[in-house]
Structure 1
Amino acid sequence: MTTIKPFAAGSYLTNRTASQLTTLKSQLSDLSTQLSSGLTAQTYGGLGSGRSTALSAQATLSALTGYAAGITAAQTRTNVAVTSLTQVATLGIDARNTLNNGLQSTPVNATAAKANALNNLQAALDTLNQSVAGNYLFGGENSTTQPVLDADTILNGNGTQIGLTKFVSNQVAADLGPKGNGRLSQTYPGLDSSNVPISTKITLSDDPSSRADPASGYKITGASPVPTPGGIAASSALNPTGTSATVTIDVNQQPAAGDSLTLSLQLPDGTQTKLTLTAAASGTTPAFSNTGFAIGANQAETAKNLNDALTSALSASAGSTLMANSTARAASTFFSAPNPTTTAANTVVWYQGENGSSDPLSTQSVQVSAGSSVQIGVRANQPAISNVLAGLATVALGMPSSSDPNAAAIYSAISGKAQPLLSSADTSPGTSSTGALPSVQDTVTQLSLASTRLSNAATTNKASQNTLQNTLDGIEQAPTEEVVAKLLDVQNRLQASYQVTASLSKLSLVNYIS
């Protein structure tokens, strides 16, 4: 009789026993691998239903690791930027306080203030070139180019382009004019061949450049005698082309002591200054000074004294008020780069970084999570920083020497123009189309808050990372104790199966019957 082996008597039991042995051996092999590797499976396919969770967790963990690296680098960058800007703010505040404290003894303090301001300006410029890991902090989007030229080039130029020092001196010279009186033309023709005063009239005209854009020198806006009518008369008028004004002053009768003449002048930045000259009795005062004039023996002599007093007052005012205005204006123009008057063709451009129209803070950002980023950008030419630099430059280049006879007036004028600029260290310098402009200290606060956000994000990400890692370990990692217990169980079962199989293999009809 023919027998089909797979269906022969006893074949099913034999096949099932072999299959069970194979399964146990496979389990033993898997458990041994788990014990040696510590992993549940060597492939994601071996994880069964947990593979989707494991793959998702691995992707998220990888992203969190990248965020952590970015946050660490950004925190270092932000902390250095905070330290640097704090130094700039401190330099500005200290310079402002020094100016206030020095008003009591200007000849001595002018020299000290000048030297300190120059040192502080150089220190601030160096600070703005700070870098971290080869990346500059104050160049906006451009972190590979040194954002600020070195202090020597900024101050002295590079041989083909003028620096700040020459730029300021050129502006001062242009405003003061060849006579050092604000580009005004003053005429007193009333002297005979023996230099005896014979005229009672003085004329004063401003230069057409005072009405140009940009303006230079003093612009006459009025002349007011007191009392009116009185011994002094004044009239002013524009010339036919409207490019210049002329004031005619006439001592039409002898003034009384205390009568005065006030001349109103506009500076190139639109601010006003006034010069008041007061008549004094002959013999009680010099013939003329910056503030007054003596009443002469006659009207012509009084006019001559008034003319000389006007010359002296204009020279003193131009050498202090106008000079300070020119210095501060030029320094502000220079540090507000790029600008129409500070071009690479004739003047060094101190700022070399990115100069777009976007908010400086947004020029650098770091991704801290899938849906969140922190902005940490800064530009060295932000208005507040530029103002502090301009304020330091105004003091450094405008303060007089201790031997200057007009030191007190110059110190006061320079202080008056520099302090508002230096105040940008801790006070908003103005507003823009997007709102109030931040002071240097405001920017420090913004960056400090950004640093706090980075720290918080790092903490949150670390917690998420730990949770995900625990979840992933629960899926991928094989618990040693559990694997050992299973391994022993499988070994025992396999050993028992081998023993039974061996015993059965020796079974015969003789052994069975016996």
Structure 2
Amino acid sequence: MIVNKSMFPLQAGFGVISKMNSQFALLQTQLGTGNKAQTLAQMGKDLPVSLSARSRLTQIEGYMGNVEQANLRLSFYNNALTRMDKMEGEARNSAVQGQYGSNNINMATLPGLSKARFDELVTMLNADVNGRYLYGGNKTDTLPLKPTEELLNGVGGRAGYATVVTERRAADLGQSGYGRLTADIDVLTPGTVTFAEDGAHPFGMKLSTVSQVGGRVVIDTSAQNADPAALAFTFDDANLPRAGESITLGFTLPDGSETQITLRASEEDTGTKGEFTIGEDAATTAANFQTALLEKIQIAAEGELMGASTFAAAENFFNAAGEPVVRVAGSDPYTATSLRVATPSDTVQWYNGETAAVSASNLGRLGVSSSGGNSVTVKGLEPSSFAHGFRITAASAQSSQFPPTATLPTVTQTAGPPSSLSVQFSQLPTAGDKVTFTLTEPSGKEREVTLEAVTGRAGPGQFTIGTVTAAGDAIANTTANFEQAITRSLSTTAALAEGNPRQAVSAAVEDNGRVNYGMQANEVGYLRMIRSFAALSIETYPEAAGAEDPNSIDLNPARARFDALASRQASQLSEARNSERGSIEMVTMELGVAQSNLLAATQRHTSYKAQLENLLGEAEAVNKEDIAMQLLALQTRLQASYQATAMVSQLSLVNFL
């Protein structure tokens, strides 16, 4: 009998062992790495799931990075805003009307404290996080504000705030020191005092109201609303004022605030400011009234007017969004009659960040007025600036009837500068008649505004056709309704053009979600603090420093200036302004909403990331316990196969026999 190995196929056995060895090596690798495959080609049907999950995880990591970065910046904002809110309270408490301190210490220390606050505020607004300036909108690579000394005192021949204040005060005070007001008596009418503004200009004290107790003085108010305004006080020999009777005059100051003075008749000269002596005749009484009036005006000019002028200069220099930097025009500010737009070559431009060219607060630098009871005028504010506000570039009226009826208002548009629009109603419009005008932004973008005449209640973009009422005739009421409607439309259009500073910077935190947290240092909350601190820092009180008697009446002008500035700072930083758009409190609330959105996005990403990691684990990872059991089973099979193969390989006739 012949015995050979052909009955035992060793080659097939070796192939099986080789496959088991390969499988054993793969299981060892999986056990060591915890992954099913080492290359994409080895993943098989799990490849699409793995690629999709990993792509999504990469996106989530990117979003989480954006969230982390935004949270860092928001934490900086929160710290800064908390400090600013505290500074507002400190500033209000440091300057209170009538509280001058022992030996006028409050007056002596206030300028230094205010400058320190101003410097701290500028430093905070110029702070950067990781090389990025946060208070300049999307302009993050340059300082939003100039340094403190440059802002206050200028640099390189360019005027700072102190120079602008000096010019503005001179323009408001005038050469005579009476706030650009005059009180004259004509020799031909010695019993009449003519009290008037010295010209048509934006400076000084503007007459607003007049009243009297007693009624014995004839007051001519025919020119009270003219420009310049004037009043005439006529005294009658037969009906002179009696002791205790008074005349009160109201004035509008350069910063828009109001003040008043009262002159009271007296039978004898007591030396009291604000009193005029009743003379033997009208001429003497008029002369006494003139003297008392000018004395009282001078007191108001040295106190209230100077405070108002300082804050008006702050508005001129520290311009808001949609406004240019302006200063007094001409070589002699005492006789100035207009403001001019300052240039970067002659005046420090305090803010360098992103800003809107149009602002809703000033209707896009347009003023609305009515005249004659049937005409409404929209006109650009002066001084004109092509870089700020709207220009009216087209206007027309469209009839609801065909052919057009004669009820359409007359629309007149002028290019300017300043540009203007006049709408005159000679007849009642027909329902459906429209007035359309085009507003052009400095960038060239055009916005069309249409106002349609309707009967009944008017909605957005509409005005009500008036009817005869006790308040006036139908055309006058229509004109008034149109004025209100055009003011609303201008405000809405300007708000759209202005945009939201928060949207200047945003972070993508989800596929369809962004969190806006931009900030601009010329927002109203920061601006009120900047203006107030600057105004109080440049005002000094040398009278108080050199006074031997801390209660001397010679200190009254200094105390009046202190009171005027203190009251204005208290008003600017009042808690009553917390609800204003752009206030420190409103900005804090908006950032709180942004932080809430970031937290919600973080929670969603964390949950989704966990789900994706579980899915990825199922697609890519192995169960090490299962792999270990497979390894043990395969090892046993391999050992058995090796032994069987070894035994077969040793078969021979000799061994068989």
Q: Give the residue type in structure 1 aligned to 2:233.
A: I
Verify: 1:363 aligned to 2:363, yes or no: no
Verify: 1:133 aligned to 2:130, yes or no: yes
Q: Which residue of 1 aligns with 2:294?
A: 311
Q: Which residue of 2 aligns with 1:82?
A: 78
Q: Which residue of 2 aligns with 1:200?
A: 191
Verify: 1:209 aligned to 2:187, yes or no: no
CA deviation profile, 1:199-241 (whole Å, cap 9, x unmatched): 433222212234xxxx11123345544422x2x33324449x9
Q: Which residue of 2 aligns with 1:503?
A: 647
Q: Which residue of 2 aligns with 1:321?
A: 304
Q: Work out the CA distance in 2 between the residues paired with 1:269 and 1:390.
A: 12
Secondary structure, in 3 states, of the residue corresponding to 1:351? Answer: coil
Q: Which residue of 1 aligns with 2:64?
A: 68
Is the 8 Å Cα contact of residues 115 and 533 (structure 2) preserved in structure 1? yes
Q: Which residue of 1 aligns with 2:436?
A: none
Q: Which residue of 2 aligns with 1:405?
A: 556
CA deviation profile, 1:89-136 (whole Å, cap 9, x unmatched): 221222123334x53447443333333222212211111112111111
From 89, 92, 110, give the equivalent of 1:93. 89
Q: Give the residue type in structure 1 aligned to 2:259.
A: T
Give the deviation of 1:359 after TM superposition.
1.1
Q: Which residue of 2 aligns with 1:349?
A: 349
Verify: 1:302 aligned to 2:285, yes or no: yes
Give the deviation of 1:411 after TM superposition.
3.0
Tell which structure's C-alpha radius of gyration is larger: 1
Unpaired stretches in structure 1, ≥5 consecutive residues: 1-8, 192-197, 430-436
Give the deviation of 1:505 after TM superposition.
2.5
Q: Give the residue type in structure 2 aligned to 1:498.
A: Y
Q: Which residue of 2 aligns with 1:5?
A: none
Q: Work out the CA distance in 1 between the residues paired with 2:635 and 2:295.
A: 115
Counting only pairs closer than 5 Å after superposition, residues 124-273 of structure 1 correspond to structure 2 as 124-188=121-185, 199-210=190-201, 215-221=202-208, 223-228=210-215, 230=216, 232-238=217-223, 243-253=227-237, 254-273=240-259
Q: Give the residue type in structure 2 aligned to 1:295.
A: I
Is the 8 Å Cα contact of residues 503 and 517 (structure 2) preserved in structure 1? yes
Q: Work out the CA distance in 1 between the residues paired with 2:133 and 2:85.
A: 19
Give the deviation of 1:165 after TM superposition.
1.6
Is the 8 Å Cα contact of residues 129 and 136 (structure 1) preserved in structure 2? yes
Q: TM-score scaled to structure 1, two decimals? A: 0.84
Q: Work out the CA distance in 2 between the residues paired with 1:400 and 1:296.
A: 39
Q: Work out the CA distance in 2 between the residues paired with 1:509 and 1:449.
A: 93
Q: Which residue of 1 aligns with 2:273?
A: 290
Q: Work out the CA distance in 1 between the residues paired with 2:232 and 2:246.
A: 15
Q: Give the residue type in structure 2 aligned to 1:82.
A: N
Query: Cα distance 1:360–1:260, how it changes in 2: closer, same or farther (>3 A)?
Result: same
Higher relative contact order (CA 8 A, sep 6+): 1
Q: Work out the CA distance in 1 between the residues paired with 2:42 and 2:228.
A: 94
* Segment drifting more, 469-478 vs 68-77: 469-478
Q: Work out the CA distance in 2 between the residues paired with 1:41 and 1:384.
A: 60
Q: Which residue of 2 aligns with 1:4?
A: none
* Segment drifting more, 374-383 vs 415-424: 415-424
Give the deviation of 1:440 after TM superposition.
0.5
Q: Give the residue type in structure 1 aligned to 2:218.
A: A
Q: Give the residue type in structure 2 aligned to 1:449.
A: V
Verify: 1:422 aligned to 2:422, yes or no: no
Counting only pairs closer than 5 Å after superposition, residues 375-386 of structure 1 correspond to structure 2 as 375-386=516-527
Q: Give the residue type in structure 2 aligned to 1:219.
A: K
Q: Work out the CA distance in 1 between the residues paired with 2:99 and 2:262.
A: 24
CA deviation profile, 1:385-439 (whole Å, cap 9, x unmatched): 112222223333457456332234333322332222112796133xxxxxxx142
Counting only pairs closer than 5 Å after superposition, residues 92-131 of structure 1 correspond to structure 2 as 92-100=88-96, 102-105=97-100, 107-131=104-128
Is the 8 Å Cα contact of residues 79 and 451 (structure 1) preserved in structure 2? no
Verify: 1:278 aligned to 2:422, yes or no: no
From 475, 499, 506, give the equivalent of 2:619. 475
Question: RMSD of aligned C-alpha atoms?
Answer: 3.0
Is the 8 Å Cα contact of residues 154 and 348 (structure 1) preserved in structure 2? yes
Q: TM-score scaled to structure 2, two decimals? A: 0.67
Give the deviation of 1:333 after TM superposition.
3.2
* Segment drifting more, 124-133 vs 106-115: 106-115
Q: Give the residue type in structure 1 aligned to 2:133.
A: Y
* Segment drifting more, 269-278 vs 71-80: 269-278
Q: Work out the CA distance in 2 between the residues paired with 1:221 and 1:492.
A: 109
Q: Which has the higher helix share?
A: 1
Q: Work out the CA distance in 2 between the residues paired with 1:489 and 1:348.
A: 85
Give the deviation of 1:156 after TM superposition.
0.9
Query: Cα distance 1:190–1:111, how it changes in 2: closer, same or farther (>3 A)?
Result: farther
Q: Which residue of 1 aligns with 2:534?
A: 393
Q: Work out the CA distance in 2 between the residues paired with 1:158 and 1:279.
A: 53
Query: Cα distance 1:271–1:236, how it changes in 2: closer, same or farther (>3 A)?
Result: same
Quote the sequence identity (%): 30
Q: Which residue of 1 aligns with 2:437?
A: none
CA deviation profile, 1:158-181 (whole Å, cap 9, x unmatched): 223211122122212111111121
Q: Work out the CA distance in 2 between the residues paired with 1:165 and 1:208.
A: 26
Q: Which residue of 2 aligns with 1:6?
A: none
Is the 8 Å Cα contact of residues 318 and 325 (structure 2) preserved in structure 1? no
Secondary structure, in 3 states, of the residue corresponding to 1:352? Answer: coil
Q: Which residue of 1 aligns with 2:370?
A: none
CA deviation profile, 1:468-505 (whole Å, cap 9, x unmatched): 33432343334444433323322321222122122223
Q: Work out the CA distance in 2 between the residues paired with 1:422 and 1:205.
A: 34
Secondary structure, in 3 states, of the residue corresponding to 1:58? Answer: helix
Query: Cα distance 1:264–1:372, how it changes in 2: closer, same or farther (>3 A)?
Result: closer
CA deviation profile, 1:279-320 (whole Å, cap 9, x unmatched): 11215x12xx43112234554333332221111111111222
